Amino acid sequence: MGKKRDVQSVNSKTMPKKPKNYKPLQRKAKKFTFNRKRSKPYDSEWQKYRRRFLYHNPNCYICPNQSQVVDHIKTHKGDRELFVNTQNHLPLCTACHNYITGKFDRHKVQLLQEKIDWINKQKEQFNNKKKVKVLPYYSKG
């Protein structure tokens, strides 16, 4: 058929070499854009409330793990009244919160009833009869 070529010699002929003054492409880091509308509710007042709420509700509402997140049962989507509504808060561990957020809250229309049903079902599985201690939310003004 013809001569068999050495693979090493073929690669050295076909692959271009870097020029001596080669500099990799310097991409500028994107500037972080601060979305004021989205992050405004999470101010220092919220951080204080969150700390107090998790102090008084140390365990996850669903499982026996330690609570680390204050979840909004009904997503607020920037609505301040719903955001500070203390009846809308649940103490959750990170694992439960991430599962619930991914499964029920990340839709155009929140699957609220399915979320509540799932939470109650999981509570029964863990035989958790814990109730949430509701604290007042101190709002400005």
The domains of the chain are located at 56-125
Residues of the chain predicted below pLDDT 70: 1-16, 18-19, 22-40, 138-141
Residue 37 CA to its chain's centroid (Å): 18
Quick: pLDDT tens for 2-31.
565 555 555 556 666 766 776 666 666 555
Per DSSP (E only), the strands in 4-139 are 69-72, 89-92
Residue 34's pLDDT is: 42
Report the alpha-carbon distance of residue 116 to residue 112 in Å, rounded. Answer: 6
Q: Which two tokens stand for residue 104?
A: 């029920």
Residue 15's pLDDT is: 66
Residue 141's pLDDT is: 44
Residue 27's pLDDT is: 63
Are 61 and 132 contacting, i.e. CB atoms less than 8 angstroms apart?
yes
Report the alpha-carbon distance of residue 125 to residue 78 in Å, rounded. Answer: 33
Q: Which two tokens stand for residue 88?
A: 């809308």
Residue 88's contacts (CB-CB under 8 Å, 6 or more residues apart) are 72, 73, 74, 76, 82
Are 99 and 22 contacting, i.e. CB atoms less than 8 angstroms apart?
no
